[in-house]
Amino acid sequence: MPNITGHTELVGLMAYPIRHTQSPTTHNLAYDKNGDDVIQLAFEVDNDSLKDAVQSIRALKMLGSNISMPNKTVVHKYLDEVDEAAKLCGAINTVVNLRDENGQVTGKLKGYNTDGMGYWQALTEEGIDFKGMKMVLIGTGGAATAIAVRGALDGVAEIEIFNIKDKFYSRGEEIVDLINKNTNCKATMNDLADKDLLKEKMHAADLFCDATGVGMHPLEDLSNIPDPSFFKKDLIVTDTVYAPRETVMMKQAKEAGCEKVFNGMGMMLFQALIAIKLYTGKDTPVDYMKEKLG
């Protein structure tokens, strides 16, 4: 039980539905470990109540708030500033109440997307220098877009994006266009149904990411990859899914002899730790968090 006093400061989490979230567990563990008199609480906020909820960050002098669905693509309307990557991917998951030179919150709110940052930070922590890499990315939803945009801004050389021809496909075409216009990265949009092309691109890539949720309930028995021959041994293989800890795709990659295979736990942890640093300015001990969160 945290020692809540008159000085305790508040970080929010605004989403609907939200009661299943692990975020307060992660944040409050970190604030406690860092010796910060801060707590995070989850609030049921949908698009209808979002404007008032964001205004309450200013009114209550909160440090900020995490933002999840259905608010990620809407919240920018109520903010004062938006970070470049969040602007490009059109989604915000962290709103920070900016501080003045004395460390006091100002009521000026800036939006960030730490999902993309978290994915790349997790790879960096594994000793992987992704600058100049060629990537194959499956997915054009929220997670994939954040990963692609941040990677392109931070030095990934090429991203071959694949998606099924559902409602997300045109979003992928827009993201490819934005990346090619705004970064030095060369991005291409491809149809996931073209498995020969997928195999060719995977064999030419350094890094692979599945950011679709295929491999997670209710699709836990499925993989977007037809068989292990799609993986070459030195491919770095990542999945944004963290439950289960090992997806069918990750098993296929290991069967093919890939040694660097990572689930979405790192992305999830680092998106939180980056947000925490934005709120408090503090780095949280990573090993401690990994040990506590399992």
Figure out which of the listed residues 44, 80, 126, 166 binds ligand NAD, where binding follows CB under 6 A: 166
Give the DSSP H or E segment for 68. Answer: none
Query: What is the DSSP track for 238-265?
Result: EES--SSSS-HHHHHHHHTT-S-EE-TH
144 touches ligand NAD by CB under 6 A: yes
* Span between the terminal Cα atoms of the chain, in Å: 20
* Contact map string, positions 70 to 109, toward ligand NAD, x by CB under 6 A: ----------------------------------------
Burial zone of 219 (CB within 10 Å; 0-12 exposed, 13-18 middle, 19+ buried): middle
For residues 152 and 150, what is the distance between their CA atoms, to the nearest angstrom?
5
Q: Any catalytic annotation for residue 72?
A: yes
Min CB(157)–ligand NAD separation in Å? 22
> Which distant-in-sequence residues (6+ apart) come within 8 Å of 256 by Cβ?
228, 229, 230, 231, 232, 233
Residue whose CB is less far from ligand NAD, 29 or 216: 216
Residue whose CB is less far from ligand NAD, 10 or 28: 28
**Neighbour tally for 263: CB within 10 Å:** 21
Residue whose CB is less far from ligand NAD, 111 or 118: 118
For residues 192 and 177, what is the distance between their CA atoms, to the nearest angstrom?
18
For residues 59 and 239, what is the distance between their CA atoms, to the nearest angstrom?
39
Min CB(168)–ligand NAD separation in Å? 4
Min CB(141)–ligand NAD separation in Å? 2
Binding to ligand NAD, residues 209-238 (CB under 6 A): 211-214, 216, 219, 224
Binding to ligand NAD, residues 3-62 (CB under 6 A): none
Catalytic residue among 33, 51, 61, 72: 72
Binding site for ligand NAD (CB under 6 A): 115, 118, 139-144, 163-164, 166, 168, 211-214, 216, 219, 224, 240-242, 264, 267-268, 271
**Which residues are catalytically annotated?**
72
